[in-house]
Amino acid sequence: MPLVTPLDPDADPETRKLAEFFNETLGFCPNSVLTMQRRPAISKAFIQLNMAVMENRGRVTSALKRMIAWVSSNAAGCRYCQAHAIRAAERYGAEAEQLENIWEYRTHKAFSEAERAALDFALAASQVPNTVSPELEVRLHKHWDEGEIVEILGVISLFGYLNRWNDSMGTSIEAGAVESGEKYLSGYGWEKGKHG
């Protein structure tokens, strides 16, 4: 049972309108947003930040942003966000080979060196304490320009917020997210956990 019960999707008309964004990304409005709308200023600000961070501005593709979100959420242990991120990666065109082997991104041939640098950065930046090293910074700058690094860290930071929100809330996971989690992640031990 979640810490705070999500409200009806129509509880705040402004949040409902902004939340249409998630119909594209996930196919449903997340229960986390329905909980945030108990304070509509938070739900609206969150959705606008999410839209800005996840906007595709070039080489940091929508699919890669969602894989970065998955690595970040995996590091934090948030099963709710892991399932959401892998679902959105699939919906945004991540290659099946990448989705099926996301756990082995460091060595699997489906991932480029640029993607590995971004995903290693996601892992290091999501750990507490932070483990971003000078060597990792060099690798990151080898493959990505400063604007792209800002995009990558924006995703990591957004999911830092979401990981803490959803794990602390015990947010109930939606059927579509469960479906994606079971499809791509259950072979590596993923389960709903407290989000059931």
Structure tokens at 111: 């991932």
Contact 37, 12 (CB under 8 A): yes
Phi, psi of 191 (to 5 degrees): -150, 165
91-114 confidence digits (pLDDT tens): 999 999 999 999 999 999 999 999
What is the rounded distance in angstroms from the CA atom of residue 19 to the CA atom of residue 139?
36
Three-state DSSP state, 115: helix
pLDDT of residue 154: 98
Spans of the chain below 70 pLDDT: none
pLDDT of residue 126: 98
Helix or strand (DSSP H, E) at 23: helix 21-25
What is the rounded distance in angstroms from the CA atom of residue 30 to the CA atom of residue 32?
5
Say whether pTM exceeds 0.85. yes
In Å, how far are 16, 65, 151 from 59, measured between CA atoms? 31, 10, 10
For residue 65, the Cα-to-chain-centroid distance in whole angstroms is 8
pLDDT of residue 196: 86
pLDDT of residue 136: 98
Contact 68, 122 (CB under 8 A): yes
What is the rounded distance in angstroms from the CA atom of residue 110 to the CA atom of residue 100?
10
pLDDT of residue 72: 98
pLDDT of residue 99: 96
Name the CATH architecture for the domain at 14-195.
Answer: Up-down Bundle (1.20)
Residue 9: exposure state from Cβ atoms within 10 A (0-12, 13-18, ≥19) = middle
pLDDT of residue 52: 97
DSSP string, 176-195: HHHHHHHHHTGGGT---GGG
